[in-house]
């Protein structure tokens, strides 16, 4: 009997295997290093699943470290939300929560070390002048007139910078590397700038702040990170990452490895564009269910297991590509099909009166909660003389392949009875307002009658006397274009005007009154829906999470 080959590993795990086998590392330490200047989105989820996933697989640990070096844009609100989102995804950092601001004193001392080694200097050029003299890919940069100032003078000025003796932007500290280097990041990058702004953790203790490039690698080294995993846009920063580690007395030398970021069609991942969508009112906020933020998809009803499964499916590569959002939606369906309880809801109701059913009678029909989980058992659903069915489940003059309810035709009510339509009632405008039907009492529970007749359709229903009202928010893809980032014109030109439809006349099975905000259920035959945070005991609101099948694929086909 042949043994199947082991599953292939991505290139990052292969590197880790090699490092462990060679004895370079005795274990693995990874980190997830968000900047606390916004909310996490699906792109971050890929990095979270990678870093925390590797820690779990290799018996190592993953640090959560906030790169909080820009107090102008950072808020404690984001620190709290990021921790909440990571835990929602199913990961935890244990006791390994860190902040770059924890290392400000050490970073300052290392900046002094570079100055004393002749590898950093205080520059008095403006930010614009530094940009202008940096050069480009075809021409070298121009050295600052202060590049060769004496070490003692640079050190004294840097101390004065920290003491607050200069105005914001008046001076900066730059590394002294190579103004003709082919990599622009190596052309004397700025290490510190003067910035008077209250920091969410250090208050007004500091008026100089280190730049991200100077902070990140040294923070990794202080935490003894073995593999510093980041997306491909940082590939050109790796020589600078290594230069700092090689020129400072750091306690360890992590290895930076880059992988492709997560891109999805029919959406945008840019922080700037997401902010624009929020601030200009194109969406209701950062937790709008149409956004790819983790807060948005959680409010929409996406389960964390589906996000983890999706990240595993798309894998880790070095190649930039755009993933089909249908893969994500299918991962959501797979989880919810296994886990979500079933209920009945009628979104566009039409009244049905069973003329031969006793007026005051109410029965309780037994219905399966989830056929995928028999252990969940059954629920009782009230049945009465007057019901609601979906308007689209009836046609007065149906085409040949329409098998649902029509005049003279029978259908099965799910977990109910066979009913036949006998009469159609219309209003003065000719709109159908009521169907008068008869039921077969021998078919209780949807059983086939003794005479052997069969029906070709089963439809869902809700007892009118017991129905609860709800607002239903039908969310769809936010953009019409598969690639709104690259489509003609502004990305805003490609917003989908039908990305949100609100239905106010829906009628729901009474059991849905007990569903808590944040819980996702299946509305039988309709899709998966999540009770929204706007729901109250007297005013239910449900968001459509995803349909039972990919309606977009059907439309394109």
Angle at 524 between CA 520 and CA 526, to 5 degrees: 85
d(CA 396, CA 514): 36
Pairing of the two strands 468-475 and 540-546: parallel
> Which H or E element spans position 187?
none
DSSP summary character for residue 270: -
36 φ, ψ to 5°?
Answer: -80, 55
Catalytic machinery residues: 35, 261, 271
Supply 157's token pair. Answer: 């000025």
Nearest to 72 by CA among 183, 165, 199: 199
Task: Please answer whether residues 404 and 421 qualify as being in contact, where contact means their C-beta atoms are separated by less than 8 angstroms.
Answer: no
Alpha carbons 111 and 191: distance in angstroms, whole number:
8
| In contact, 433 and 351? CB cutoff 8 Å | yes
Angle of helix 212-222 relative to helix 104-116, nearest 10 degrees?
Answer: 110
Contact present, 256 and 342 (Cβ < 8 Å): no
Q: What is the 3-state secondary structure (H, E, C) of 418-477?
A: EEEEEEEEECCCCCEEEEEEEEEHHHHHHCCCCCCCCCCCEECCEECCCCEEEEEEEECC
Q: How many residues appear in the chain?
A: 557
Taking a C-beta distance cutoff of 8 angstroms, is the pair 45, 262 a contact?
yes
Cα–Cα distance, 352 to 336 (Å, whole number): 31
CA distance 1 to 22: 33
Strands 410-413 and 458-459: parallel
- Enter the tokens of residue 302: 């996406």
């Amino acid at each position: 009997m042949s043994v199947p080959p082991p599953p292939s590993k991505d290139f990052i795990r292969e590197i880790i295997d090699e490092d462990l086998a060679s004895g370079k590392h005795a274990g693995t330490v990874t980190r997830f290093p968000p900047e606390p200047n916004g909310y996490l989105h699906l792109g971050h989820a890929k990095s979270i699943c990678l870093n925390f996933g590797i820690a779990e697989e290799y018996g190592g640990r993953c640090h959560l470290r906030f790169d909080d070096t820009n107090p102008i844009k950072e808020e404690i609100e984001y620190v709290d939300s990021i921790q909440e989102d990571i835990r929602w995804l199913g990961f935890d950092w244990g006791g390994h929560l860190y902040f770059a601001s924890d290392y400000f004193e050490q970073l300052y001392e290392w900046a002094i070390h570079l100055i004393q080694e002749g590898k950093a200097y205080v520059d008095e050029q403006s930010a614009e002048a530094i940009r202008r003299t940096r050069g480009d890919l075809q021409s070298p940069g121009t050295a600052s007139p202060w590049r060769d100032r004496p070490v003692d003078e640079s050190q004294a000025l840097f101390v004065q910078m920290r003491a607050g003796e200069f105005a914001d932007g008046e001076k900066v500290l730059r590394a002294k590397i190579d103004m003709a280097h082919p990599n622009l990041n190596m052309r004397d990058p700025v290490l510190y700038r003067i910035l008077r702004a209250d920091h969410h953790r250090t208050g007004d203790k500091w008026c100089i702040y280190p730049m991200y490039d100077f902070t990140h690698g040294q923070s990794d080294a202080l935490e003894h990170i073995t593999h510093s995993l980041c997306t491909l846009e940082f590939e050109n920063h790796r020589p600078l990452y290594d230069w700092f580690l090689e020129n400072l007395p750091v306690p360890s030398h992590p290895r930076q490895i880059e992988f492709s970021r997560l891109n999805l069609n029919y959406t945008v991942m840019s922080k700037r564009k997401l902010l624009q969508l929020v601030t200009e009112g194109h969406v209701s906020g950062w937790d709008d269910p149409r956004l790819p933020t983790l807060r948005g998809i959680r409010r929409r009803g996406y389960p964390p297991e589906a996000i983890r499964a999706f990240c595993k499916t798309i894998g880790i590569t070095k190649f930039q590509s755009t993933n089909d959002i249908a893969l994500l939606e299918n991962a959501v369906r797979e989880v919810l099909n296994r886990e979500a309880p079933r209920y009945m809801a009628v979104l566009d109701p039409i009244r049905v009166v069973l003329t031969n059913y006793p007026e005051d009678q109410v029965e309780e029909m037994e219905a399966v909660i989830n056929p995928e989980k028999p252990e969940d058992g059954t629920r009782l659903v009230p049945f009465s003389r007057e019901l609601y069915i979906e308007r689209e489940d009836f046609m007065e003059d149906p085409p040949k392949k329409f098998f649902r309810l029509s005049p003279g035709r029978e259908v099965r009510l799910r977990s109910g009875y066979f009913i036949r339509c006998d009469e159609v009632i219309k209003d003065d405008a000719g709109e159908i307002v009521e169907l008068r039907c008869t039921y077969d009492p021998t078919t209780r529970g949807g059983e086939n009658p003794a005479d052997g007749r069969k029906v070709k359709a089963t439809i869902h229903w809700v007892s009118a006397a017991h129905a609860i009202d709800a607002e239903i928010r039908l969310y769809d893809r936010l953009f019409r274009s598969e690639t709104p980032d690259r489509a003609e014109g502004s990305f805003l030109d490609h917003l989908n005007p039908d990305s949100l439809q609100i239905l106010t006349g829906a009628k729901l099975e009474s059991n849905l009154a007990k569903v808590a905000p944040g819980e996702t259920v299946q509305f039988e035959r309709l899709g998966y829906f999540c009770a929204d945070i706007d729901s109250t005991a007297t005013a239910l609101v449900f968001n459509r999470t995803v349909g039972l099948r990919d309606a977009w694929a059907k439309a394109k086909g």
